[in-house]
């Protein structure tokens, strides 16, 4: 019997309303089409985040 479960992980950032120079890092986990978002409780400078690659510069 074939099992067709799916798992996806997306790392993204959101602006901090009281500090426009920092971003909060989030993870969105999708299992079989059901999503959950969690904050990783980590912050990064806007200048250090590579928007196209979805990661920090230099990694």
Residues 6+ apart with CB under 8 A from 43: 16, 22, 23, 24, 25
Q: How high is the pLDDT of residue 23?
A: 92
**What is the rounded average pLDDT of the residues 50-59?**
80
The pLDDT, as a whole number, for residue 59 is: 58
Lowest pLDDT segment from 6-10, 25-29, 51-55: 51-55
Single pTM value for the model: 0.77
- pLDDT at residue 19 is higher than 90: no
The pLDDT score that the predictor gives to residue 1 is: 66
CA distance 43 to 37: 16
């Amino acid at each position: 019997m074939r099992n067709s479960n799916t798992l996806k992980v997306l790392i993204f950032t959101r602006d901090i309303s009281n500090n426009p120079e920092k971003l909060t890092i989030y993870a969105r986990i999708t299992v079989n089409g059901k999503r959950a978002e969690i904050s990783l409780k980590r912050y990064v400078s806007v200048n250090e985040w590579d928007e196209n690659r979805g990661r920090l510069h230099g990694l």
